[in-house]
């Protein structure tokens, strides 16, 4: 293969990764993919002897690595606020994210039939919410939603540990959309008949 084509292909790959990174909702994923794209594009710029472009992209990669290190060092600290489903802030939160919520829960309207609500916060910022019906030792989940910025499963893990510490033994949900199913499977839900079920373990 012609060497020029190989160099151009490397440049296209680097550019594509940088563009793809801008589509990430997770800041960590954005910076990680952008780092790889910037490093690849640095190699391309050096190959075509465009040294200012190489310096800029290498600097961007260093900035991304620095900020990734800060993200990993600063562990997310969450807290749980237990509210009534008809609480004014719950209504405000749901209305604010309703378009995104319906991507994962297309049939969700309002939580009239729910009797429990758990709001996950990081500092003063709401990061996620679980609405459902208390079914004794389990919760029949209506929605389990995380805002885009915190969509790395850390909210769910913290919430499930909290629920286990409150003597809930499991969660289950029905009518799962295709968009929500990958999250459930990643979080350990197992399909049983027409619903997905997760057993909760008491945190050590």
At 116, which CATH number?
Answer: 3.40.630.30
The tokens describing 202, both together, are 């008491």
What's the predicted TM-score (pTM) here?
0.68
Same domain, 136 and 97: yes
Same domain, 117 and 46: no
83, β-bridge pairs: 117
If pLDDT is split at 50, 70 and 90, which confidence band does 146 have? very high
Same domain, 33 and 100: no
If pLDDT is split at 50, 70 and 90, which confidence band does 67 have? confident
- Report the pLDDT value the prediction gives residue 85, as an integer from 0 to 100: 92
- Per the domain annotation, does 19 fall within a domain? yes
Same domain, 95 and 189: yes
Same domain, 103 and 177: yes
Domain count of the chain?
2
Residue 64 sits in which domain range?
A: 3-72
């Amino acid at each position: 293969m012609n060497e020029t084509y190989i160099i151009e292909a490397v440049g296209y790959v680097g550019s594509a990764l940088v563009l793809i990174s801008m589509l990430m909702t997770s800041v960590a994923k954005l910076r990680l993919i952008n780092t790889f794209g910037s490093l690849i594009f640095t190699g391309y710029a050096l190959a075509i002897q465009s040294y200012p472009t190489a310096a800029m992209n290498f600097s961007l990669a260093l900035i991304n690595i620095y900020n990734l290190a800060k993200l990993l060092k600063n562990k997310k600290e969450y807290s749980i606020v237990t509210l009534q489903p008809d609480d004014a802030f719950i209504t405000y939160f749901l209305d604010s994210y309703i378009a995104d919520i319906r991507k994962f829960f297309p049939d969700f309207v309002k939580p009239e039939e729910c009797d429990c609500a758990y709001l996950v916060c990081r500092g003063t910022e709401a990061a996620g919410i679980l609405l459902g019906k208390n079914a004794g030792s389990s919760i029949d989940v209506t929605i389990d939603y995380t805002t885009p910025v915190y969509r790395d499963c850390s909210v769910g893990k913290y919430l499930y540990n909290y629920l286990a510490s409150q003597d809930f033994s499991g969660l289950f949900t029905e009518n799962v959309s295709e968009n929500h199913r990958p999250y459930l499977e990643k979080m350990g839900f197992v399909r049983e008949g027409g619903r997905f079920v997760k057993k909760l373990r008491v945190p050590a």
